[in-house]
Structure 1
Amino acid sequence: MTIILAQFKKSLSHAAFGSSSNMGAGIDGGLIRPNIPYFLSLTFSCIDGGLIRPNIPYFLSLTFSCIDGGLIRPNIPYFLSLTFSSIDGGLIRPNIPYFLSLTFSSIDGGLIRPNIPYFLSLTFSSIDGGLIRPNIPYFLSLTFSSIDGGLIRPNIPYFLSLTFSSIDGGLIRPNIPYFLSFTFSSIDGGLIRPNIPYFLSLTFSSIGITLTCLHSISGLSLTERSNRMNVTSHLP
């Protein structure tokens, strides 16, 4: 572990944040590319109507395409593959190969049709302002509460735990224990706060909008403000 942390520290200081070119320019149409070797590689491209594409090799790969009325397509190889198509009155179709395949058709007062071959069944209770609670023992547990301004909280134990709170201007908070924990707060001009326990800590300030997070990695802490990254270590 000491060797891994030392290599990680060295990689972060030299490879990931050695130059400002690794930090993207502009959330509203540019790229945010923190390069975190061995652990996490993220690419966010145009949040407000374009693409959000975090690439997390070995752990999690997500692709979000056009949140505001287009497609949301997280791709999580080896663990979970989801495809959400048109949240506001269209289709939500998460495809979870090897584990779970779901098809949600028409959120806003229409039909909910989960198709879960070979594995399990779901129980959904009241979409429009109530709770959607599929209980997937051993594989996946989801809780969706009010998509249009409330909470979307999928809990995926052992694999992925996400919490989405108010997509249109509130909070988006995916919590991914053991692998990656993100906190996105107010996409449309507010805060973006990625929290990545066990791996690293990032603090971004004033990159078009504000992105802030503080955490430590077994004594290793990272801080980056206004396109500046200071790598400090409290390791012995």
Structure 2
Amino acid sequence: MNIADQIALVTGANRGIGRQFVLELLARGARKVYATARRPETLSFDDPRVVPLRLDLLDHDTIRAAAATATDVTVLVNNAGIATGAQLVTGDLTEVRREMDTHFWGTLEMIRQFTPVLAAGGGGAIVNVLSALSWFAAPGTGSYSAAKAAEWNMTNAVRLELAPQGTLVQGVLLGAADTTMSAGYDGPKIEAREVPRLSLDGLEAGSIEVIVDDWTAMVKSSLSGDPAPFYTQITELLGVN
């Protein structure tokens, strides 16, 4: 896929990785970018190719309205997300469900609504911004990790389902990026702009999975082994008991 002249929609475009996706798409010559946010007045792009849209992954009416408006989309970037910090066993189940409703059900609803749009345009591509926490859990990440794990395997499943219509489905996995969401994390962080740069490089190469950083590569390499040494290493690296 050549990004030039594509028409993209990016969720959670008002800050962080989502904002950087919009900027990178524009820099690569995208013809139009629908930039979405729960509060579109928070979007700040000085480029006539940017079209702001209201979209809330917990409000299916806004998802359907976005799909009815953005009928020319060829690249869908599912980036929007939350991190409540809710514990699975003792935390507020409302917050746990909100994580799953956002990352799994909200993202799946986006895919379901935009699948006919992408098919009409020849197939296009879907990018799901995932996390290294799709593959492991750390203290305080239980609900987020569970939701991202569900989103990761949903990404694999819809990739198979949408292959016949020629839609490339890409999963992008990273550790921590320097964004508002990770402000309380003191470990290593990558620049947020690296995520769309590597993701779009991957789209142009036809890659279905993009591993953004060394941390995520380390996590992935551990998956075939005994989890006990891995979790010992993780707790030491994170400085927890």
Relative contact order, CA 8 A, sep 6+: which one is greater? Answer: 2
Q: Give the structure-1-normalised TM-score.
A: 0.31
Which is strand-richer, 1 or 2? 1
Pick the structure with greater CA Rg. 1
TM-score, scaled relative to structure 2:
0.31
